[in-house]
Amino acid sequence: MKGRSLELFFVDGRADGLLVAELFNWTGHVLLVPRTQIKQALERTEASYTGIYILLGQQDGEPMAYIGETEDIGQRIRTHDSKKDWWTKAVFVTSADNKLNKAHVRFLEARSFERAASVSRVTLDNTQVPQKPQVSEATVANMEGFLENLYMILPALGIDLFVESKRSRPAPEQAVIASSFVPTAQDASSARFELLTPKHGLSAKARLEEGEFIVEKGSVVRARWEGKGGRVTSYETLRKELDKTGVIVSAGSSARFAADYAFNSPSAAAAIVNGRSSNGQKSWKLEGTNKTYKQWEAEQLLGAPEPQLEDA
């Protein structure tokens, strides 16, 4: 994939205030709105545009979201402001010059709901499942492209309800090839690792793929979170989420990954496998060797080519 340029504009110069996000050469427009500044947001021009909106917050300690569409975002938000008290921020998604129509936003709403429900990171407050309208093949292609850009922007704003961490299994022939050799510096993007703890019956496999640390389906992990301490850690919260969404399923005295799952670091993956905070740099070892992830990573850095300087 090619790199993209994201422009963020802090409307009132505050990091926690109104925020506009736009991608270069994309007609979409995203406005992130804290509920405390909803009045200022509704005074903006784009608040009267046709678009979709996402309400975000918590209810009973659980993350919650609502996805809707409307031909006048401001008018619809005023209704939600009086009827829904759980949301703390909103996202308005429109287009430059108000070029989205009713069919467009109904499609965007339905596909976004479908994606969020599939990812299952948050509870959706929608009482009805949005239905996709009948639109042309060209419109479908255009709106899917619109959503690809939107799903790229939102995580950069700390909004992850559309981020899919489950991963597809590699093709059988690819898996055989990947497990038949020890990766070198040139093969870093397809390195494979294992975390074995015979004492507790744990046996997990993982692969490094396009910068993601992916624990593979079938990996055997602790049956429950065993971490000590009074405060709830982010890893403990993640483990509960993985149990709740069926990514990890019980298997007698232990548990297993029911699907490949991408973590943002080896330590996050190790914590879920071990059921407690762990140093993934040392816990994971290159498959078939006694070399830790930390040692393997150091070799990659030492083996990296020297940067080429341009002639003056």
Give pLDDT tens digits along the chain (312 positions): 578 899 999 999 998 999 999 999 899 999 999 999 999 999 999 999 999 999 999 988 889 999 999 999 999 998 877 788 899 999 999 998 899 999 999 999 999 999 999 888 899 999 999 999 999 999 999 999 999 999 999 999 999 999 888 776 544 433 333 333 333 443 555 789 999 999 989 999 999 987 889 999 999 999 999 877 666 778 888 898 899 888 999 877 889 999 999 998 999 999 999 999 899 999 999 999 999 999 999 988 887 555 555 543
3-state SS, residue 244: helix
* Residue in the block written with tokens 């790199």: 3
3-state SS, residue 49: coil
CA distance 204 to 13: 46
Q: Please write down the HEC assignment for all residues of the chain.
A: CCCCCEEEEECCCCCCCCEEEEECCCCEEEEEEEHHHHHHHHCCHHHHCCEEEEEEEEECCEEEEEEEEECCHHHHHHHHHHHCCCEEEEEEEEEHHHCCCHHHHHHHHHHHHHHHHHHCCCEECCCCCCCCCCCCHHHHHHHHHHHHHHHHHHHHCCCCCCCCCEECCCCHHHHHHHCCCCCCHHHHHHCEEEEEEHHHCEEEEEEEECCEEEECCCCEEECCCCCCCCCCCHHHHHHHHHHHCCCEEEECCEEEECCEEEECCHHHHHHHHHCCCCCHHHHCEECCCCCEHHHHHHHHHHCCCCCCCCCC
pLDDT at site 230: 62
Contact 286, 182 (CB under 8 A): yes
**Which helix (H) or strand (E) element contains residue 123?**
strand 123-124
Structural tokens at position 122: 């948050």
- Distances in Å between the Cα of 73 and the Cα atoms of 79, 82, 95, 135, 253 are 10, 15, 12, 22, 51
CA distance 107 to 259: 29
**Whole-model pTM over 0.85:** no
